[in-house]
A and B are shown apart, each in its own frame.
Chain A
Amino acid sequence: MIKMSHISKTFGTLNVLSDINLTIQEKEIVAIIGPSGSGKTTLLRCINLLEMPTTGSVTVGSVTFNADGNRSNETITAIRKQIGMVFQNFHLFPHLSVLDNLTYAPIHVLKTPPEAAKNKAIQLLDRVGLKDKASAFPAQLSGGQKQRVAIARALAMEPNIMLFDEPTSSLDPEMVKEVLDVMKELTHNHMTMVVVTHEMRFAEAAASRLLFMDQGRIIEDTSPKAFFTKPKTKRAQEFLSRLV
């Protein structure tokens, strides 16, 4: 489903990712954790090519992007088409109503008829518990509500894969649960998910696989249970000990 081979990424002289090799199967729920600056966000953004890898290739479904080969716009679009992304800071369109946030891309990109897009959007809003907010504007929502709308907006494009970059990190503590609940519900829905998170309990309870990153490398790739009971590397042990 997702295959990254020999991915590296440099910003100027800074090596942010070094020789990442990663295969994620369909319906896996992968949590990525690691210290700040270890390259988690960059790794995630290399999957949907918001960041172009410096070397290596990314395959999503049947489409392959190659850093020094096939990097055409069609390839990039075909990869992004399969992927929804949720950002730490939501990035909702502030000048559009919640409903229009959800229907804009389906109507203008997928060419869904407006009426059908609207019905689908209402259904999705219902699913994230925000049906009554359809006509509200993003500024009128709490952080937790905004993030749930952002999730619904990504789902409206019917992706097979969802990427989450610290979806609860800019939320007040009391709003974290409502977002995690929506994400948990998604895990029961045949979705492949890759989640960068600091919510260890969520990673333990919802993920089927856990990656620990440090200095641009994946240094542990294991089950959440194994990781939290007995991390193999010293860096992971230190990381976990600093959390409590």
Chain B
Amino acid sequence: MFHFDLILPSIPYIISGVGITLQYTLVSVCCGLILGSILALFKISSSRILRGIANGYTSIFRGTPLLLQLGIIYFALPNVLGVTLPPFLAGILTFSLNSGAYISEILRAGIGSVDAGQKEACLSLNIPRHKAMKDIILPQAIRNTLPSLVNEVIDLLKESALISIIGETDLLRRANIVAAEKYLYLEPLLIAGACYYIMVLGLASLAKLLEKRLKVT
């Protein structure tokens, strides 16, 4: 029924897509974390304008499909601005902008979950507001929201498959290429699927481990 033997020589080719997929995910998550932190700070700031910007931004990026955002940045933006982004950059940019919106919501809730006493301790010690936020409140907010943040990474990892549409040879795209070459669809997809699944499981158990360690300290 299965004919893995027919695609045996192509299996390493498919699996090496893991690197590209991971690269996309990690770079996007890092940029998204930075952007998300900034947006979260906007959301809790006393300035109505900053709050408006951050809330509007989040609303738009959460309210439209990721695939559409990718299409606009990769296909439509070049028409308007006259610059063509290579697929890698367009992909990273889209995922970062998108995950920034989700992460900002996660962090905003996380900042709210940090005990008010922490802020008061900072005030009583005269720690300036921005330092208190950066060194005392945000680290605790990130820790409190670690499970949600890992979920976001997992979502991003799976959604990164969208970049195959703009021609990047990630895990899914490689599976499709092999499938087209061999006229054999199920097997390459199963292999790619197994790779995704193992990565997701890895991330989930990494998160469990981190949570356990953070609980001790």
- Do the two chains belong together in a single complex? yes
B118 contacts A by Cβ under 8 Å: yes
* A-B CB pair tally, cutoff 8 Å: 57
Q: Mark A20-50, 1 if CB is under 8 A from B, else 0.
A: 0000000000000000000000000000101
Q: Mark A45-88, 1 if CB is under 8 A from B, else 0.
A: 00010100000000000000000000000000100110111010
Interface residues of chain B: helix, strand, loop or mixed (majority): helix
**Interface-forming stretch among B7-15, B97-105, B127-135?**
B127-135
Chain A residues in 8 Å Cβ range of B131: 108
A95 contacts B by Cβ under 8 Å: yes
Further 13 A-B residue pairs, CB within 8 A, beyond A89-B117, A91-B117 = A50-B123, A77-B126, A80-B124, A80-B126, A93-B121, A94-B140, A95-B217, A104-B125, A105-B126, A105-B127, A108-B127, A109-B126, A109-B128
Chain A: interface size category: 20 to 34
The contact of B139 among A80, A92, A95, by CB within 8 Å, is A95
7 smallest CB-CB distances across A and B, nearest first, come from A91-B117, A91-B121, A85-B124, A105-B125, A137-B217, A80-B126, A95-B139
Using known A-B contacts A108-B131, A139-B216, A139-B217, determine if residue A91 contacts B123 with beta carbons closer than 8 Å: no
Docked complex: A103-160 residues within 8 A CB-CB of B: 104-105, 108-109, 137, 139-140, 153-154, 157
Once bound together, how far apart are the Cα atoms of A201 and B127, in whole Å? 35
Chain B residues in 8 Å Cβ range of A95: 139-140, 143, 217
B120 contacts A by Cβ under 8 Å: yes
Q: Mark B46-87, 1 if CB is under 8 A from A, else 0.
A: 000000000000000000000000000000000000000000
Chain B residues in 8 Å Cβ range of A84: 124
Chain A residues in 8 Å Cβ range of B140: 94-95
* CB-based contact B217/A91 at 8 Å: no
B155 contacts A by Cβ under 8 Å: no
B136 contacts A by Cβ under 8 Å: yes
Binding site for B on A (CB under 8 A): 48, 50, 77, 80-81, 83-85, 87, 89, 91-95, 104-105, 108-109, 137, 139-140, 153-154, 157
Output the least CB separation between B132 and chain A (Å): 9
B115 contacts A by Cβ under 8 Å: yes
Using known A-B contacts A108-B131, A139-B216, determine if residue A91 contacts B125 with beta carbons closer than 8 Å: no
Using known A-B contacts A50-B120, A87-B120, A89-B117, determine if residue A157 contacts B126 with beta carbons closer than 8 Å: yes
The contact of A109 among B115, B125, B215, B216, by CB within 8 Å, is B125
Once bound together, how far apart are the Cα atoms of A2 and B139, in whole Å? 36
In the complex formed, the residue of B with least CB distance to A109 is B126
Chain A residues in 8 Å Cβ range of B115: 91
Once bound together, how far apart are the Cα atoms of A117 and B117, in whole Å? 24
Once bound together, how far apart are the Cα atoms of A81 and B127, in whole Å? 10
The contact of B124 among A93, A94, A154, by CB within 8 Å, is A154
Q: Mark B179-190, 1 if CB is under 8 A from A, else 0.
A: 000000000000
Chain A residues in 8 Å Cβ range of B217: 94-95, 137, 139
Once bound together, how far apart are the Cα atoms of A87 and B216, in whole Å? 23
Once bound together, how far apart are the Cα atoms of A153 and B126, in whole Å? 12
Chain A residues in 8 Å Cβ range of B123: 50, 80
